[in-house]
Every structure is written in C-alpha cells, then in structure tokens.
Amino acid sequence: MYKEFIVKVCIVILITMPLHSDTVKYISTGLGIYSAKSAESGFDFLPIEFGYKINNHKVYLGMPHLIFIPKNEDDSLSLLNYSINYDYSYYKNNNYSFYIGVGLSLIKLDYTDSTIDKEYSYTKLGSNLKTGFLYSINESFNINCGLKYLYVNHNLIKDTLGYFTNIEYNF
C-alpha cells in the first residue's frame, strides 16, 4: 500500500514542478565507479537522469545500471536501479554549488552463478544518499561530481558506495 502512495506522490511532484515559472528541465549522463564488499568493483556507464530544478531544489528520475565484477570472475552481478531523487543545494555561487540528496529506488538485481550454471533475478526496494559538487560551464551545461551510497539489503550485495561524474544539459 505504501508503494502505491510513493508512486502517486512522485507522479504529482513530476507533473506539478514544470508549472513553476523558475523551473529548468535537464537531462544528464556520465560515468560512475562503485565498490561493494561482495564484488571487486562496479561500473556505471552512461546512467540517465531527467528532472527539474527550481532554485536550490532538484527532483529527478535516475536510471543507472551498475555492473559489478564478483569475487568469482566467472559469475556476473548487475543492478538496474530506477529511482526518484531529491537534491538540495546548501551552498550556491555563480558557477558552482554543493548539494546533498536522498532517493528511493526500485532495484532489479541479476546474478549468474557459474558453479551451478544458474541465473537469479530479484527485485528490491532500496534507498540512496548522495553528496556532490555542481560546476556550471555555461547556462546550458553543468558538470556534476559526487559520491553516492546505495542501500540494496540483499545477501548478494548489501550496499554500494561510488564516485560519479555526469554532464548535465539544461533546457
């Protein structure tokens, strides 16, 4: 029941935000490097974000796809993450700002166990925390660098921590 409520709240926010006169839409993509205790390392190549910015606030949908290298190199582990996020810029200057953020995630975890040649797929509800630095190149383009913590709560992977760099296009 609470999942339906969260979806409804997210839909209302994403529909009503463009009605504000100071709203800026944006899309971004980039690269991320992540780590987890159950894997050597993970990569997020070309994640997509789409959302709205109003003054110090940013609400957006994120769709990263994390691919990990498990400890057993013949196995495979990936996370497809659909999230609704909120970031708040706590310090803003003309060309740069610092922010913190939170998000709720719907995570699809895929795992292949090579020892028994079996594939597993799980769907989990997770959360994320984020902090970073946004540098404005000009009115249309920004560079976004930061750290992101993703809580998955699964026996294969409990959580991840990573560094990301994205380029944002404002329109």
Phi, psi of 139, rounded to the nearest 5 degrees:
-65, -25
Is the pLDDT at 5 greater than 70? The verdict is no
The Cα 137–Cα 155 span in angstroms is 42
At 2 the pLDDT is 57
pLDDT band of residue 98 (cuts 50, 70, 90) is very high
**8 Å CB contact between 77 and 70:** yes
Is the pLDDT at 76 greater than 90? The verdict is no
All domains in the chain, ordered by first residue: 2-170 (2.40.160.20)
- The residue with tokens 């799980």 is 122
Is the pLDDT at 88 greater than 70? The verdict is yes
pLDDT band of residue 85 (cuts 50, 70, 90) is very high
Mean pLDDT (the chain, rounded): 88
Is the pLDDT at 41 greater than 70? The verdict is yes
Phi, psi of 101, rounded to the nearest 5 degrees:
-155, 160
Show Cβ contacts of residue 60 under 8 Å, excluding neighbours closer than 6 positions. Answer: 26, 49, 50, 51, 52, 84, 85, 87
At 75 the pLDDT is 85
Show Cβ contacts of residue 171 under 8 Å, excluding neighbours closer than 6 positions. Answer: 24, 25, 26, 27, 140
Closest by alpha carbon to 22, among 61, 58, 48?
58
Q: What average pLDDT does range 100-112 have in this prediction?
A: 94
Show Cβ contacts of residue 162 under 8 Å, excluding neighbours closer than 6 positions. Answer: 32, 33, 34, 35, 42, 44, 66, 147, 148, 150
Q: What average pLDDT does range 136-153 have in this prediction?
A: 96
Closest by alpha carbon to 79, among 68, 92, 89?
68
At 71 the pLDDT is 77
Q: What average pLDDT does range 140-148 have in this prediction?
A: 98
Tell me which amino acid residue 44 is.
Answer: D
At 114 the pLDDT is 79
Is the pLDDT at 163 greater than 60? The verdict is yes
